[in-house]
Structure 1
Amino acid sequence: MSRLRVVLVVLALLLLLPPPTPAFAATTAEGGPNLDSLSVDNGATAPSPSDWSTAVVDSTMARRPATSLGLGYTDALFLHAAFQVYQRTHDTRYLNYVKAWGSARVATDGSTGNTYNDLDSMLVGNVFLDLAPATGDSRYRLAANRIVKRVATFPRTSDGALIHNVAFTGQLWSDGAFMAQPFLARAGDHTGPPRQLLTYFEHLRNEDALLRHAYDETGRSEWADTSGRSPEVWCRAVGWFGMATVDVLEELPRTHPDRAALVEIVRYLADGYRRWQDPATGRWFQLPVKPGLAGNWTETSCSAMFTYTLARAVERGYVSPAFWPVAQRGYRGVLAKVSIGSDGRTRISDVVIGTNVGDARYYLERPRMDNDFHGLGAFLIMNEELRSSR
């Protein structure tokens, strides 16, 4: 048999072999995959940790066509995060995905059918601001302007803070800080967002550490104590607030009069993150200041948010480099909750679904989901930051 024929036979046999399947080269302390050493059985490494963003976006795009996503804050969080991945990779598939969503959801006059009667509905403004310069399509600037105009008439507390929902008179929720303030700062308002964050912080600051979930200046909510605050520190509410603060700082001039006060908030939160990080996993608990409470569990989306905030704070010099190991432990802890399924798509586990204000039992019994969009968006934002900071 000629040498050429031998080569052709070998190639034909190789084509009959099944494709390499993902296998984890090691496991974590919890018995899960070590995502820093994901390999395939031919010895190649796929993907490296810096590629987890693209793996998550690719998997989500395969599961959810762009036009299936709505205007809600969780979908908007994922789209905003996916756009950040596009900005790094310049992979036009990601831009086209976000554009397809925008074309389906935003009319040429900027209308969306949304009345913007709660702060959650305003998070989508970040996606409008992403698409406006990327596409040159005026509909997105018009859509963003509609939210800005709505904020001007939005109900407030007696000291000027935006309430969480027009149906919740006098209520501030920590979550609401991220829903509107980074968007408004990006839209050019450098006065309102820092004042909003400072007012929220004054009402929500917990005596021991971190922040309470909510505050009701009327005191009429069933969850309000004598100070008007809700009883618990809920991890994702604190995560939203931390991300909001570092993101608003990103937009402010260095000479801004409120800048130093916002940096102090970041330092306060960072101290709490370090104090209450779970030493066993690197993550944070659903009720972070009660780690020993029966039924408490580490939650993935807030752990990603805390990690992002810490990494950004170290990178910008808001806190000392001593906090970097805390961020690294958080990063490893979150990665331990990411895996690849038999379908070849990513899975992010232990993400709590949307959550209102309640008592300890309510938070601990909230369902957990795989690939909940709270977790997808938070993971991408964290991973993009940690990738650039390593």
Structure 2
Amino acid sequence: MITRRTAVASGLGLAASLLLPSTRASAAPARPSTSAALPEDLSRAVVDSTLARIPDPADFGAWGYPQGLFLLGAHRVHQRLGEPSYLDYIRRWVDRSVDANGHIDNSFDTLDSMQPGNLLLVLHEETGDPRYRIAADSIRQRFTTYPRTADGAMWHGTSKTNELWADGVFMAQPFLLRYGLAYGDEQYAYEQVTRNLTTYFAHQKADNGLLYHAFDADGDAPWHPDPATGTSGYFWGRAIGWTAMTHIEVLELLPADHPSRPRLIENVRHLARGFVRYQDPASGRWFQVVDRGEDDRNWTETSASAMYTLMLSEAVRQGYVQGAEYERAARRGLEGVLAKVTASGDGMVDVHDISVGTNVGDLEFYYERARSTNDLHGLGALLLMNERLRH
């Protein structure tokens, strides 16, 4: 099984670990005053607080990508700490959907439904139980028949004919690549994953360094695509964040000599320029509608901000981008995300201002999305950011 690198920093190293290549000799940035009382190991506190609130995996929700995102983050904390209760929780949640024969009662007709498959891969590696390999195989087999656009990009869902949503790449492509590397299916995985990332990006790319939320090859989606480009009208923060994280996850696993690497790195550079351009100078975060920070109906959103911070910090660390502006944006992003985390005297932490699940919509739709505390989208994004910054 291919796994991510083991984290090496600990404790208050969260902020200190964002020591980017040209600044390693400098002092670590100070924590924002609102985060001064945060626990020393924030990742552990986020996982512990969530499991304390939802101690029974039966209450954690059905098979779905928000649950899969958070538990993927929890597994990365488990990799660092070796905390058996985290792995046990993941296993008990997955076992609610995987029967004794490895069957999952799911048709996998959306990319979203494939994202928890990442947990099947880690459980097979951790436990050796063949049920998890059988279940993962069923998702892999679905890719063979899953519908695609004429240029080979997977539809967001079988009911979303010829629609590509920027959210979707994170839901399917990292699983497919990890599956291929784990089980000798690399060539299919390399071809499909890189084709989907590059095709999605080409259709959704905007000149300002961002991505439109969605593209419809038919031009008849209910969210009224632009008749000339097929794109939706707005730049929703978390959709772009999903794509940003996917590029980092894929580049980490893709061979160094793979011919698609330069194009994927150029995609990262495109997004990095947009992230620097539209970062809120007051908070260090990014807005729900990324390019409209001047609109007082808009608001800075925590999950997207964590995703952008993850991509920027890793892009600098890997040398995909160079320049003080990217280092500064990553540091300010970290500070801004931490400022949306609060701790109480009993050790519980809360993460605020997270957009709930969101479809493609008009401007008011994005502005009026509920601003949740401890929504799994934000908790999972924070865990992935924090654990990666511990490299």
| Superposition TM-score tier, normalisation by shorter sequence | 0.7 to 0.9
Displacement after TM superposition at 1:259 (Å): 0.7
1:373 aligns with 2:364: no
Alignment of 1:14-163 (within 5 A): 34-35=34-35, 37-38=36-37, 47-48=39-40, 51-64=41-54, 65-69=56-60, 70-163=62-155
Alignment of 1:173-252 (within 5 A): 173-188=165-180, 189-222=189-222, 223-226=224-227, 227-252=229-254
Give the alignment partner of residue 300 of structure 1, picking from 285, 299, 302.
302
Displacement after TM superposition at 1:141 (Å): 1.3
Q: For structure 2, which runs of at least 5 residues remain unmatched after alignment?
A: 1-31, 181-188
Q: Within 2, Cα distance between the matches of 1:61 and 1:286?
A: 28
TM-score where L is the length of structure 2: 0.86
Q: Within 1, Cα distance between the matches of 2:252 and 2:345?
A: 40
Q: Within 1, Cα distance between the matches of 2:96 and 2:219?
A: 42
Q: Within 2, Cα distance between the matches of 1:33 and 1:113?
A: 48
Alignment of 1:255-334 (within 5 A): 255-320=257-322, 322=324, 323-334=326-337
Q: Within 2, Cα distance between the matches of 1:367 and 1:341?
A: 23
Report if the CA contact (8 A) 2:49-2:349 is conserved: yes
Report if the CA contact (8 A) 1:108-1:138 is conserved: no
Amino acid at match of 1:55: A
Report if the CA contact (8 A) 1:33-1:339 is conserved: no
Amino acid at match of 1:109: N
Q: Within 1, Cα distance between the matches of 2:122 and 2:317?
A: 23
Displacement after TM superposition at 1:324 (Å): 2.1
Amino acid at match of 2:302: T
Report which stretch shifted further, 339-348 or 288-297. Answer: 339-348
Q: Within 1, Cα distance between the matches of 2:133 and 2:262?
A: 31
Matched residue SS, 2:164: strand
Report if the CA contact (8 A) 2:117-2:175 is conserved: yes
Displacement after TM superposition at 1:314 (Å): 1.6
Displacement after TM superposition at 1:91 (Å): 1.3
Q: Within 2, Cα distance between the matches of 1:244 and 1:203?
A: 16
Displacement after TM superposition at 1:255 (Å): 0.6
Displacement after TM superposition at 1:342 (Å): 6.0
Report if the CA contact (8 A) 1:110-1:146 is conserved: no
Between Structure 1 and Structure 2, how many residues are aligned?
Answer: 347
Amino acid at match of 1:367: A
Deviations 1:356-383 (A, max 9, x none): 0011111001111100000010010011
Matched residue SS, 1:131: helix
Deviations 1:23-53 (A, max 9, x none): xxxxxxxxx8532x32xxxxxxx722xx000
Matched residue SS, 2:95: helix
Change (3 A) 1:345 1:33: farther
Report if the CA contact (8 A) 1:233-1:288 is conserved: yes
Q: Within 2, Cα distance between the matches of 1:301 and 1:233?
A: 15
Deviations 1:64-104 (A, max 9, x none): 12232321100000111100000011111211211222233
Per the alignment, residue 14 of structure 2 pairs with none
Matched residue SS, 1:56: helix
Amino acid at match of 1:197: L
Displacement after TM superposition at 1:208 (Å): 2.1
Per the alignment, residue 5 of structure 1 pairs with none
Q: Within 1, Cα distance between the matches of 2:241 and 2:323?
A: 20
1:339 aligns with 2:330: no
Q: Within 1, Cα distance between the matches of 2:344 and 2:278?
A: 31
Q: Within 1, Cα distance between the matches of 2:94 and 2:220?
A: 40
Q: For structure 1, which runs of at least 5 residues remain unmatched after alignment?
A: 1-31, 39-45
Amino acid at match of 2:39: P
Displacement after TM superposition at 1:343 (Å): 5.4
Which structure is higher in RCO with an 8 Å CA cutoff and minimum separation 6? Answer: 2
Per the alignment, residue 387 of structure 2 pairs with 384
Which of structures 1 and 2 has the bigger CA Rg? 1
Amino acid at match of 1:198: T
Give the alignment partner of residue 367 of structure 2, picking from 364, 367, 377.
364
Report if the CA contact (8 A) 2:306-2:334 is conserved: yes
Displacement after TM superposition at 1:219 (Å): 0.5
CA RMSD of aligned residues (A): 1.4
Q: Within 1, Cα distance between the matches of 2:204 and 2:101?
A: 38
Deviations 1:319-377 (A, max 9, x none): 12532221111011001000124654211000010000011111001111100000010
Matched residue SS, 1:339: strand
Q: Within 1, Cα distance between the matches of 2:33 and 2:65?
A: 31
Report if the CA contact (8 A) 1:108-1:139 is conserved: yes
TM-score where L is the length of structure 1: 0.86
Report if the CA contact (8 A) 1:54-1:85 is conserved: yes
1:350 aligns with 2:353: yes
Q: Within 2, Cα distance between the matches of 1:151 and 1:169?
A: 16
